[in-house]
Amino acid sequence: MSSQTNFEQNFKELKNRLKLISDADPDQYHNDHSLTRYLKAFKTVDAAFQAILKTNKWKKEYNVAALTEDHPTIKNNLTLKKARVLRHRDMQGRSVIYIPAKNHSVNDREIDELTQFIVFCLEEASKKSFEDVIDNFCIVFDLKNFSLTCMDYPLIKNIIWLLSRHYPERLGVCLIYNAPTVFSGCWAIIRGWLDENTSSKVTFVNSEEDLCQYLIPDILPTDM
């Protein structure tokens, strides 16, 4: 049996199993593209099934639907320019989440509120995806004017957890732009938290020429 045939059978089994569980509502949170992502990420039908149920439960308990631009926490972080989902896309057609490190200080943030804001950004980027063409997105960490007070390890751990558990296979590429030498020590720690698949998606970009391989530099904000 070919791997493609095996995957198709697993997909069908996963979809049918979800239909039999009244508490799992695939129409609310998951379409065929989403089920495919979970199956690719978690490998087996059982693991993907359990992961989807956990995501459904998390989205309800975390009240993800309430995290809109009108939510006080979201509105505040947008005003502080912590991150933004850009109007334009990268060269592959991916939606882009832009995060300027200079606007962040580990000494002046509330981790739970900032995590809510990251969830908002992940949701917005997901909604903007052209799933029939490409269903993952691009994250740009702009480290211009980076200092060690910008380095927030607990937040990075939360982002990694969110991407791996509730947004599997959504990360297409993560660009580290304008990284200073001091960041090399930080990256050595962060890389240890990533699996091989995720770390392979992280690319350091140090010039506009290199950046042009992934996106048009002009789409990056100048007001953040």
| Per-residue pLDDT tens digits for 102-129 | 999 999 999 999 999 999 999 999 999 9
Whether 123 and 138 map to the same domain: the answer is yes
pLDDT at 212: 97
Are 77 and 171 in a shared domain? Answer: yes
137 shares a domain with 210: yes
**109 lies in the same domain as 177:** yes
Residues 110 and 187 in one domain: yes
**What mean pLDDT comes out for the span 11-38?**
79
**Does one domain contain both 73 and 57?**
no
Tell me if 195 is assigned to some domain: yes
Q: Domain range holding 149?
A: 66-218
Give 19's pLDDT tier (boundaries 50, 70, 90).
Answer: confident
**224 lies in a domain?**
no
Q: Is residue 142 part of a domain?
A: yes
Entry pTM: 0.94
Tokens encoding 58: 């998390």
pLDDT score at 219: 97
- Spatial distance between the Cα atoms of 168 and 186, rounded to a whole number of angstroms: 24
CATH number at residue 148: 3.40.525.10
Task: Find the mean pLDDT for residues 146-175.
Answer: 97
Query: What's the pLDDT at 29?
Result: 64
> What is the spatial distance between Cα 57 and Cα 30, in angstroms, rounded to a whole number?
13
State the burial class of residue 52 (Cβ atoms within 10 Å of its Cβ: 0-12, 13-18, 19+).
Answer: buried
Residue whose C-alpha is closest to residue 179's, from 105, 101, 118: 101
Picking from 39, 61, 83, the residue at the C-terminal end of a domain is 61
Same domain, 85 and 9: no
Q: Which of 145, 143, 153 is nearest to 205 (CA)?
A: 143
Q: 29 and 72, same structural domain?
A: no
Instruction: Tell me: do 17 and 101 sit in the same domain.
Output: no
Instruction: Specify if 223 maps to a domain.
Output: no
Same domain, 29 and 131: no
Q: Are 154 and 204 in the same domain?
A: yes
Output the pLDDT for position 115.
Answer: 98
Q: Are residues 54 and 70 in the same domain?
A: no
Domain boundary among the residues 19, 40, 61 is at 61
* Number of domains within the chain: 2
